[in-house]
Amino acid sequence: MSTDDSSLTLLVTANPDPRSLTHHVLERLESALRPRAVEVADLHQEQFDPRFTLADRRVYHEGGNYPPDVVREHRRLEQATDLVLVFPVYWWSMPALLKGWIDRVFVNGWAFEYSAASGLRPGLQRLTTHLLPIAGDDSGAFERHGYERALRTQIEHGIVDYCGSRRGATAFIHESEQSSSEATAESVERAVRIISGAVRAGSPRA
């Protein structure tokens, strides 16, 4: 991956509240990445349709002839060297809107190719994917119950590795609803520092 200033980082988020901590983190990360090229995909604001329809199902099996909104997302991702998913943790995973974006966009024939004859051929080797999950619970609970491991396995291994993307940094923000604004600010700055540093440096597969 190139680390020069012409590299494009695509920030994708899914939170309906523009005043949320998610959007604050997004703004802080965008600022930290400048003057590198950055594009923001706010799936709620853009009204991306996450529903995997019969048409999507047919495309999944046949490849090609992708719906126009999916093609638009493919073009965005094809321009990017780094993808950062910035999202609130809902039920120990990503919001349904973001999952629907992945369901429809990371599709057979583009993000990977699979057939009984040739098996799996990943297609996103040019891309590095970073995760910035924003969780309400504390880090101890995530460790005790295996929530972090489950989330990382689901996304890092089940999606990122499957499509051949390089694993970038994963930086959790915990206790996002705590009353101490100072503690929250420190957690946000730490996560932003980790992700922006990884984008600038380039990230080999974990």
Residue 6: the pLDDT is 65
Distance separating alpha carbons of residues 6 and 66, to the nearest angstrom: 28
32 strand-pairing partners = none
> Going by DSSP bridges, is the β-strand pair 128-134/166-170 parallel, antiparallel, or unpaired?
parallel
Burial class of residue 202 in the structure, from the number of CB atoms within 10 Å of its CB (0-12 exposed, 13-18 middle, 19+ buried): middle
Could you tell me which residues come within 8 angstroms of residue 136 by beta carbon, excluding any fewer than 6 positions away? 89, 175, 176, 177
Distance separating alpha carbons of residues 147 and 130, to the nearest angstrom: 18
pLDDT, one tens digit per residue, over 120-174 is 899 999 999 999 999 977 788 788 888 889 999 999 999 999 999 999 999 999 8
Cis-peptide, bond into residue 35, ω within 30° of zero: yes
Both tokens assigned to 12:
């994708």
pLDDT, one tens digit per residue, over 9-19 is 999 999 999 99
The model carries a pTM of: 0.90
CB 121 within 8 A of CB 114: yes
Go through the chain and tell me how many residues it has: 206
